[in-house]
Each structure stands twice: as structure tokens, then as C-alpha cells.
Structure 1
Amino acid sequence: MAPEEEGLTQPASEEVRLRQEEYDLRLELNRLQRQLLEDTASDALEARLEEIAVLQARLNEIEPQLAKLAAASAASTARKVNKARSRVTVKPGMEYIPTGIYHLLDQEELPLVLCEVDEKETGREKPVLRIRAYIEGYSDQAVELVELGLRASEVRLSPTLQPKMLHNLTELTPATLHVVIDDVENGKLLEHLTYRVWLLARNSAQTAVKDLTSGKVKDLSRFLGAYVTPNTPSIMRFLRQVAEHHPRKRLAGYQPDEPVEDQVQAVFQALKEESKITYVNSLVDFNPQEGTKSQRIRLPRESLEEGQANCIDGTVLFASLLEAISLSPAIVLVPKHAFVGWETGKNSGRWNYLETTQIGSHDFADAVDFATRLANVYEKQRDTTGDDAWFRRWPLRELRAEYQIWPME
């Protein structure tokens, strides 16, 4: 039987061409990014960054085109809901569920299930529907009662995940999302719909997600702040070793006559000499399709235990130590990379940066110089294009106070 007869459709030739170009660009960007981190010679840095910027700009052009083509394709094959029975249109909000930060997501902004009750009831009696949503074996039930009336309404559901079921979730895991709709008065089942979803491991970082209800990509990069864990026992114990590398053997935060850079350098030296952190060459991919499937983050305690870290591991580890000594760190994200920043004075608004992948191989001044040049190039690109994806700086103080993003442990 031909694919069309089985209900399958082949991607249009333009979509195939763009996906091939996207694939080739990602391969080349990965190659250049690895070279960038392996060869930090100053005479080649700016030229390589410019080359990366050109390729990334083209990738940024392609992604919206692909999203538009994919949305059109999905619309043509979308599953239809029997509204004659339930009067409800059900739309799953996410295919890939970031279990580590799911509890932090705003249900109004990004629900797991969106139900549109768009059939009007003109009779004297107004039926009441019960809508339930749950992930089989992994969540409680989220329940809403809806009285059908003269106005259309929306119901957003995000069932609570069960922590004990997620504790051993170490791989991308398929699961089944159930949406059940029944009539409260007579108990009649109107709909029982199921959808395949994927549960990301608890330490999988999802910095962007496609909202299936709108087709838009939502930036979730701020939730990396949950992986900055300054109060864990392993971080608190390691601070004793950090203090030993400080000229005055103490960590005072932002205090008069207490140079901030001495404290940051003490963190650097302790990680270099005591934990012997080594760089693991695994690049961060912030693309919502690829990143949700593959990117992992070691929690700070895991990086200390294992003695290895990639760029994002090292960034959240270093930020955890800075926050633990009452400094103001920031997670800095540029295309396919991350590094740490810190405010030079309390509420100063001035920032310095450090490349954590160089902890094991370079001295403090080199790591600061390299990250500063990265920041300058990408921040300029952001200002030129108006696209925040080139340079995002998330101060932990802002993430805690404004977004209420707290450490996950």
C-alpha cells in the first residue's frame, strides 16, 4: 500500500532541503565549536567566532521556516476530536516533558493539556463536564469541572508528577498521557483520549520547548537556575577547601576591603587543585527538538564526585559555589555554549566572566580573558540583530527573586 493510502505523508521537497541544510550547519557548527574550545589561541579566536556567527545566523533563518512547514504538515494530519460527544477540543501542550523543572512551569503559560470548550449550550439545563488528565504510572490526576454555557472557555491542566516515580528516571522514557471527559450528572463517558509523550530524565536540560497548542517555541533557559544548588552538603564542604586558596583564608562575599576577584579565583584554584575537575567535550545544544532528547546536566555534587564537567556542568557548579559565598553569579548562554559570570560589586550591574572548561588546563587570567572575549563578540551580535539567542545572561538573583526558580536540591 502506498504511504498516502496508509494515512502517511512524505515531507515536501522544500522541507527536506531545509532539513538537510540544517543538519549540515549543525555538523559544521559542532566542529567549529570544538575547535574553539580546544584551541584558545588569541590570534584565531575572533576569526573563528565570526565564522560561527555567520553559520548560526543562517541556522536562525532556517528554523522558523522549518517550524512553519512542520506546523502546516501537522495541521493537515492532526487527529480530530469527536466534539459531537464531548464538545471539547483537546490539545496536548508538550511532547517532551522536562521532569526536572516541570513543577516550576507556569500552567497558564505552558500547560500539559489545553482543552477548548467551544460548543455553546442554549438549553435551560447546563451540563457539567469533568475533565481529567494524567500520565499513566507517573502522575496524579488533574481534574476540572466545566459547566457548558453561552461562552466558550479554556481549561488548562498540568497533573502533578509523582517524585518517587521519577527518582530512577535516568533515560528518555515513553509514557502515555490520558485525557478523560465525562458527564458529571449521568456519569457517561464522553471521551477517553491517549497521547504518546516522552519523559526526560531528571537531569536532562530543556532550554526551549515547542508549545504544541500554539506552535511557538518557548524559552526555558531561565530554569537552568534550578540546577544551581548552593546549599547542598557537598558544596558547603567544598567551601572549606575554597577558603584555603584565599589570601586571607576567608570568604566574605561583597564586603568592604574584600576583593571579589580574590574569592572567585579561590573557587577556580580549589576546583583546579582539589577536585581536579577535567573538561568533558560534550557540547550543549539548545535547539528545542534536539536538546530535549539528548542534553544532560550533572548536578554540582555529581561534578565534584566524578571530577569532570562539560561547559554547562561547570557553569552551574561554579555558580553554586559563588552563590554559596553570597556573591551574585550568572549563567551565560551563547550558541552551543555556556559560561559563568559574576557581578563585580553588590548591585553594580557590571559583570566579569570565566570559561569553566579551562579550569583543568589554563590559569585563572586565561579563563577570564577567553570568556570576556566570547561575551564581547556574542553580546555585540545580540545587540546588532536584536536576537537574545546570541547572548543570554541570567543572574541568579533575578531568577530567585523575580521568577521564583529555586534550587532543585
Structure 2
Amino acid sequence: MLDVAMRLFAQLRPWFNLVLFLGLLAPAHASDNTADRGDLRVTPAPRHPSPEYKVTAGMDGEIYPVFANYASLQKQNERSFGVLSVNVSNPGETPLRQRIAVKVAGWSDQEIQRVDLAPGASKLYMFAPTFLPRLYNNHEIIAATAQVSIADISGASVYETTLPVRLRSAEDMYWGSNFRYAPFIASWVTPHDLRVESVLGRAKNFTVDHRLPGYESWKSAAQQEQETYREARAIFTALKRMGVSYVKSSTTFGDHRNVSERVRMPRVSLGQNSANCIDAAVMYASLFENLGMDATVVIVPGHAYAGVRLAKDSGKFLFLDVALTGLTTFEAAVASAEKGMARYAPNSVKKVLIQQARDSGIYPMP
């Protein structure tokens, strides 16, 4: 019996060895298969950081036509501020080349600027699209929508957004803290307006020789001063005869009401024969500038005056309390201005020389 068992074991031994070999081999193959399956999984591509955009508009979301007009007249690379600004940051490792298009729907043309930023760089792009005439004929605060579209160099859109804005009245002047933006009052000085020229046509009739020649270089400084007094008196008299008188109308709406006010354009004041102090100041400045004379608007706390240089290249000015146009005489208006301005310390008197404003790019609003 034992012999039979031994012979049977001897016959089956090769099969036992094969099973044992396969049993030892299987875990190794299983391990290899696991490794193979791991190698076949797709490794996610590294993510590149995306450009970042920050969009702002106007003064805390309010767009003043006076600033829109000024900025749109500046070259893109010379602007100190814009109607709408886009700050672009490039956190990537390659240059960023894109195109930004901006407009205020229904109110402006579209302005386009190109972006070319080095890796890690950022830049503020200031936009001032040309506004349509309707902006300068708008007399109340109104809602609008600014649209920003950004595309890559192939034209594919990469970013779009809209921004609610409020368009201020064309008559709203933003003075800013301590009258920082006072020079922009020159935007209301409109020497070529037909109503302004009509006043000068009337005023010449109140001079002896029916002339308003402005400065005449062949005259001495003393003679020019006399002529300036004569012409200023004629303008004052013409406006008084037309019935121009003081009417306060400076209320405005929106934010910044403590540093902004309504200022009527000369054509409006002349059409209504009504003007408060700042309305009348820009009206007189328009008349003087039309004659080629150096006009100034003087701002003091709560009041405004108009002035004109007495002679070409002279440091002396004739000032008028123009709010008194329909109330008193020319001489009384001159005396009132001198007395009123003398009450304030020099740092409280802001004199805006219209020619200086023109030289800095501040031109009449449409």
C-alpha cells in the first residue's frame, strides 16, 4: 500500500511543482498590472494662472461730462484719468497680448486699446470714449451701462463684463476737496457761442467809438488799462439793459453734493436772463475771452467773481462782483469785488486763469 502511494506521489510531483510556481508568480504579475494601470492614467496638465481684471468708472461710478470731454481730447498715453479704467495683471510666465474695447451703451463711441504685458506685470488702462452729443444735452442724472470686452490676439473673447454707471448732468461741476478741480470751470467759458457774440454786438453801442478792440499792443499799459475799464463797463451795461439778474439755481443730484454744484452754460443764462454768481462769472469770462483778453474766474468760499487782466502782460486785474449785474452800477460791482476778496486769506482765494486752463487742455464743453 505504501509502495502504491509513493509511486502515485512520484507521478503527480511535476504537477505540484507547476502549481506552486504559478502561485508564486501570480502576485508578481498582479503587482505589475497595478503598476501598468497607474501608468496609463492621464496626468492633468499644469494650470497656468489667468490674467486678472479690475474695472472702475468715473467718480465712484458717476461720470461727469466735464471730465469726459477733457479726457476724450487727450492722447491715450497722456491721460491722467479716464471715464472708465481697466487694471490688467499678468501673473503668468509668458507675455500677455490682448485687446480691450470699452463703450457706454447708447451714449458713446467704442474705444479700443491694446494690451502688451510682460510676465508678472500690471498696468492701468484709462479709457475716454467720445460721447455722443446727447450727453451734453442731458440735464439730469441718468443711469447707463458701461460695457467692457477683452479678446486675445486671434479675436477670441476671453473676458466680458458690464458696469452700471450714473451719468451726471452736463451742468454739474465737481469741485473736489479744496477746489482741487477748479480749473475745469474753464469748460463753461464758451467765447464762440452765438449768444455771447450777440452780447458783444450790443455792448459796443455803449462805447464812445462803438468798438471793443480788446488789447491793442500799440497802446501804452496805462492806455490799455483805460480801454479795459471802458470795455468792461460797456459789457456790464449791456447785460444790465438785457435784464440779466441774480437767480440762484445750483441744486444738483447724486453723490458728492457737498463738492459739486450746477453751473449754467452762458447760452442758458443769456437765454433766461438769469445767473447766480458762478453762472455770471463764466459768462463774463466768455465775453472777455472772445475779445482776446485774459479772463479769470475767482472762487472764494460761497461766492465767485469774474476778472480780466488790465493790460497785456500786466500783473493787474479788474475784478467784478458779477452777481450784482442787474442790481447796481459798474463802479459798485468793482468796489464790491475788491472788498469781498479782501476778506479772505490768499490760500482761500482760488483764481482760475482761463488761458492757463486752455494751455493745459481744458477747452469749452460742446
Q: Shorter-chain TM-score: what band? A: 0.7 to 0.9
Cα distance 1:159–1:277, how it changes in 2: closer, same or farther (>3 A)?
same
Cα distance 1:200–1:376, how it changes in 2: closer, same or farther (>3 A)?
same
One-letter identity of the residue aligned with 1:117: V
- Output the CA distance in 2 between the equivalents of 1:407 and 1:148: 36
Equivalent of 1:238 in 190, 195, 199: 199
Q: Secondary structure, in 3 states, of the residue corresponding to 2:256?
A: helix
Given that 2:68 and 2:128 are in contact with CA atoms closer than 8 Å, whether structure 1 keeps it comes out as: no
Question: What corresponds to 1:315 in structure 2?
Answer: 281
Where does the alignment leave 5 or more consecutive residues of structure 2 unmatched?
Answer: 1-47
Kindly state the Cα deviation for residue 397 of structure 1 after the two structures are TM-superposed: 2.0
Q: Is 2:82 the partner of 1:111?
A: yes
Q: Is 2:202 the partner of 1:219?
A: no
Equivalent of 1:278 in 229, 236, 245: 245
Question: What corresponds to 1:65 in structure 2?
Answer: none
Cα distance 1:171–1:262, how it changes in 2: closer, same or farther (>3 A)?
same
Question: What corresponds to 1:91 in structure 2?
Answer: 56
Question: What corresponds to 1:262 in structure 2?
Answer: 230
- Output the CA distance in 2 between the equivalents of 1:352 and 1:192: 55
Given that 2:57 and 2:165 are in contact with CA atoms closer than 8 Å, whether structure 1 keeps it comes out as: no
Q: What is the number of equivalent residue pairs in this alignment?
A: 305
Question: What corresponds to 2:363 in structure 1?
Answer: 406
Given that 2:143 and 2:166 are in contact with CA atoms closer than 8 Å, whether structure 1 keeps it comes out as: yes
| Aligned alpha-carbon RMSD (Å) | 2.8
Please give the TM-score of this superposition, normalised by the length of structure 2.
Answer: 0.74
Equivalent of 1:336 in 298, 302, 319: 302
Given that 1:139 and 1:160 are in contact with CA atoms closer than 8 Å, whether structure 2 keeps it comes out as: yes
Q: How does 1:10-409 map to 2 (within 5 A)?
A: 85-94=50-59, 95-105=61-71, 108-123=79-94, 126-185=95-154, 187-189=156-158, 191-208=159-176, 219-255=180-216, 256=219, 257-258=223-224, 259=226, 260-273=228-241, 275-282=242-249, 289-290=256-257, 295-378=261-344, 380-382=345-347, 390-400=348-358, 402-409=359-366
Kindly state the Cα deviation for residue 176 of structure 1 after the two structures are TM-superposed: 1.4
Please identify, of 232-241 and 352-361, the stretch whose mean Cα deviation from structure 2 is larger.
232-241
Please give the TM-score of this superposition, normalised by the length of structure 1.
Answer: 0.67
- Output the CA distance in 2 between the equivalents of 1:284 and 1:315: 18
One-letter identity of the residue aligned with 1:103: N
Kindly state the Cα deviation for residue 159 of structure 1 after the two structures are TM-superposed: 3.8
Kindly state the Cα deviation for residue 183 of structure 1 after the two structures are TM-superposed: 3.5
Cα distance 1:335–1:218, how it changes in 2: closer, same or farther (>3 A)?
closer
User: What's the % identity of the aligned pairs?
Assistant: 26
Deviation sequence 1:155-212 (CA, Å, 0-9, x none): 42324233244254221111112223343447243x3232221112223222339xxx
Q: Secondary structure, in 3 states, of the residue corresponding to 2:343?
A: helix
Kindly state the Cα deviation for residue 119 of structure 1 after the two structures are TM-superposed: 3.1
- Output the CA distance in 2 between the equivalents of 1:141 and 1:152: 26
One-letter identity of the residue aligned with 2:114: L
Kindly state the Cα deviation for residue 341 of structure 1 after the two structures are TM-superposed: 1.0
Given that 1:128 and 1:183 are in contact with CA atoms closer than 8 Å, whether structure 2 keeps it comes out as: yes
Given that 1:204 and 1:292 are in contact with CA atoms closer than 8 Å, whether structure 2 keeps it comes out as: no
- Output the CA distance in 2 between the equivalents of 1:181 and 1:84: 17
Q: Secondary structure, in 3 states, of the residue corresponding to 2:69?
A: helix
Kindly state the Cα deviation for residue 109 of structure 1 after the two structures are TM-superposed: 1.1
Deviation sequence 1:286-344 (CA, Å, 0-9, x none): x9811677x32222122222111111111111111122223221011112321101112
Q: Secondary structure, in 3 states, of the residue corresponding to 1:205?
A: strand
Question: What corresponds to 1:71 in structure 2?
Answer: none
- Larger-Rg structure: 2
One-letter identity of the residue aligned with 2:56: K
Q: Secondary structure, in 3 states, of the residue corresponding to 2:363?
A: coil
Deviation sequence 1:110-162 (CA, Å, 0-9, x none): 12333333333225xx4433322221221222222324432413142324233
